Amino acid sequence: MTGILSFDDLKSQAASGAIDTVLVCAVDMQGRLMGKRFHVANFIESSYEETHCCNYLFATDLEMSTPEGFASTSWQQGYGDYVLKPDLTTIRPVPWLEGTAMVLCDVLDHHKHLPVPHSPRAILKKQIARLTELGFDAMMATELEFFLFEKSLDEIRKGGFRDLTPISGYNEDYHIFQTTKEEMIMRPVRNHLYAAGIPIENSKGEAEAGQEELNIRYAAALDCADHHTIAKHAVKEISWQHGHAASFLPKWDAKRVGSSSHVHQSLWQYGTPAFMDKHDELGMSAVMKHYMAGLIAFAPDYTYFLAPYVNSYKRFSKGTFAPTKTVWSVDNRTAGFRLCGAGTKGIRVECRIGGSDLNPYLAQAVMLAAGIKGIEDKMELSAPTRGDVYEDAKAGDIPQNLVAATATLRNSAFLRAALGDDVVDHYTRAAEWEQEEFDRAVTDWEIARGFERA
Ligand code: ADP
Specify the amino acid at residue 288: M
The CATH 3.10.20.70 domain(s) of the chain lie at 7-116
Residue nearest to atom 5 of ligand 1 (CA): 215
Q: Give the residue whose CA is nearest to atom 27 of ligand 1.
A: 218
Q: Which residue has the least CA distance to atom 18 on ligand 1?
A: 218
Q: Percentage of the chain with pLDDT > 90?
A: 90
Q: Report the atom number in ligand 1 closest to the C-alpha of 273.
A: 23
- Yes or no: say if 373 and 418 are a contact pair by the CB < 8 Å rule: yes
Q: Please give the distance, rounded to the nearest whole angstrom, from the Cα atom of residue 264 to the centre of ligand 1.
A: 6
- Say if residues 87 and 105 touch (Cβ distance below 8 Å): yes
Q: Tens of pLDDT along 181-224?
A: 999 999 999 999 999 999 999 999 999 999 999 999 999 999 99
Residue with CA nearest ligand 1 atom 4: 215
Integer Cα distance of 62 and 220 in angstroms: 28
- CA 141 – ligand 1 centroid, Å: 6
**Which residue owns the Cα nearest ligand 1 atom 8?**
340
Per CATH, domain 127-446 is 1.10.10.10: no
Q: What is the largest CA-CA distance in the chain?
A: 70
Specify the pLDDT at position 60: 96
218: Cβ below 6 Å to ligand 1? yes
| Distance of alpha carbon 176 from alpha carbon 389, whole angstroms | 31
Name the average pLDDT for the chain: 95
Q: Which atom of ligand 1 is nearest to the CA of 266?
A: 24
Does residue 189 line the site of ligand 1, with CB under 6 A?
no
**What pLDDT sits at residue 391?**
67
Q: Ligand 1 atom 7: the closest Cα is on which residue? A: 215
Dist. CA 315–CA 324, nearest whole Å: 9
- Strand runs labelled E in 226-379: 245-247, 263-269, 272-273, 328-330, 337-340, 348-351
Ligand 1 lined by 217 (C-beta under 6 Å): yes
Tell me how far the alpha carbon of residue 49 lies from the centroid of ligand 1, in angstroms.
36
- Please tell me if the CB atom of residue 428 comes closer than 6 angstroms to any atom of ligand 1: no
Q: Which atom of ligand 1 is nearest to the CA of 268?
A: 23
Mean pLDDT of 48-61: 96
Q: For ligand 1, what atom is nearest to the CA of residue 346?
A: 23
Map residue 248 onto helix, strand or coil.
coil
Q: Which ligand 1 atom sits closest to the C-alpha of 341?
A: 20
User: Given pLDDT bands bounded at 50, 70 and 90, which one contains residue 320?
Assistant: low
Q: Cβ(250)–Cβ(312) under 8 Å?
A: yes
- In the structure, what pLDDT confidence band is assigned to residue 2 with cuts at 50, 70 and 90? confident
Reported confidence tier of residue 321, pLDDT bands at 50, 70, 90? low
69 lines ligand 1 (CB under 6 A): no
- Name the strand (E) or helix (H) holding 92: strand 92-93
Separation between Cα atoms, residue 185 and residue 177, nearest integer Å: 15
Where in the chain do CATH 3.30.590.10 domains reside?
Answer: 127-446
Is 346 a pocket residue for ligand 1 (Cβ < 6 Å)? yes
Give the position, in ligand 1's atom list, of the atom nearest the Cα of 140.
Answer: 25
Whether 352 is in the pocket of ligand 1, judged by its Cβ within 6 Å, is no
CATH of domain 7-116: 3.10.20.70
Ligand 1 pocket residue status of 264, Cβ below 6 Å: yes
Is the shortest distance between the CB of 351 and ligand 1 below 6 Å?
A: no
Does the C-beta of 266 come closer than 6 Å to ligand 1? yes
Residue 318 confidence (pLDDT) above 80: no
Give 176's contacts (C-beta < 8 A, 6+ positions apart). Answer: 205
| Protein residue with least CA distance to atom 1, ligand 1 | 340
For range 431-445, the mean pLDDT: 97
Whole-number pLDDT of residue 83: 97
Q: Residues 76-116: pLDDT tens digits?
A: 888 889 999 999 999 999 999 999 999 999 999 988 999 99
Rounded percentage of the chain residues whose pLDDT exceeds 70: 98
Cα three-residue angle 57-216-345, rounded to 5 degrees: 125
User: Residue 332 CB: number of other CB atoms within 10 A?
Assistant: 17
254, pLDDT greater than 80: yes
Of the candidate ranges 50-59, 243-252, 313-322, 400-409, the one whose mean pLDDT is the lowest: 313-322
pLDDT the model gives residue 392? 67
CB 259 near ligand 1, within 6 Å: no
Indicate the top mutation candidate among 131, 261, 264 to test ligand 1's pocket, ranked by most ligand atoms within 8 A of CB: 264
**In terms of DSSP bridges, do strands 263-269 and 348-351 run parallel, antiparallel, or are they unpaired?**
antiparallel
pLDDT reported for residue 19: 98
If you measure from the C-alpha of residue 430 to the centroid of ligand 1, how many angstroms do you get, rounded to a whole number?
32
User: Is ligand 1 within 6 A of the CB of residue 139?
Assistant: yes
Which residues, 6+ apart, have CB-to-CB distance to 397 below 8 Å?
Answer: 300, 324, 325, 326
CA angle 48, 94, 123 (to 5 degrees): 60
Classify residue 316 as left (phi > 0), alpha (psi -120 to 50) or beta.
beta
Report the pLDDT value the prediction gives residue 332, as an integer from 0 to 100. Answer: 77
> For residues 169 and 150, is the Cβ–Cβ distance under 8 A?
no
Closest CA to 435 of 254, 249, 302, 307: 307
| pLDDT beyond 70 at 319 | no
SS3 265: strand
Name the E strands within 257-326.
263-269, 272-273
147-159: per-residue pLDDT in tens?
Answer: 999 999 999 999 9
Section 107-127 average pLDDT? 96
What's the one-letter identity of residue 307? A
* Residues 368-404: tens digit of each pLDDT: 999 999 999 999 999 998 877 766 666 788 999 999 9
Residue of 139, 212, 215 with the most ligand 1 atoms within 8 Å of its CB, for mutation = 215
pLDDT digits (tens, 9 = 90+) for 20-43: 999 999 999 999 999 999 999 999
Tell me if 312 sits within 8 A of 431, measured CB to CB: no
The ligand 1 atom at the shortest distance from the C-alpha of residue 217 is 16
253 Cβ inside 6 Å of ligand 1: no
The ipTM, to two decimals, is 0.92
The terminus-to-terminus CA distance of the chain in angstroms comes to 63
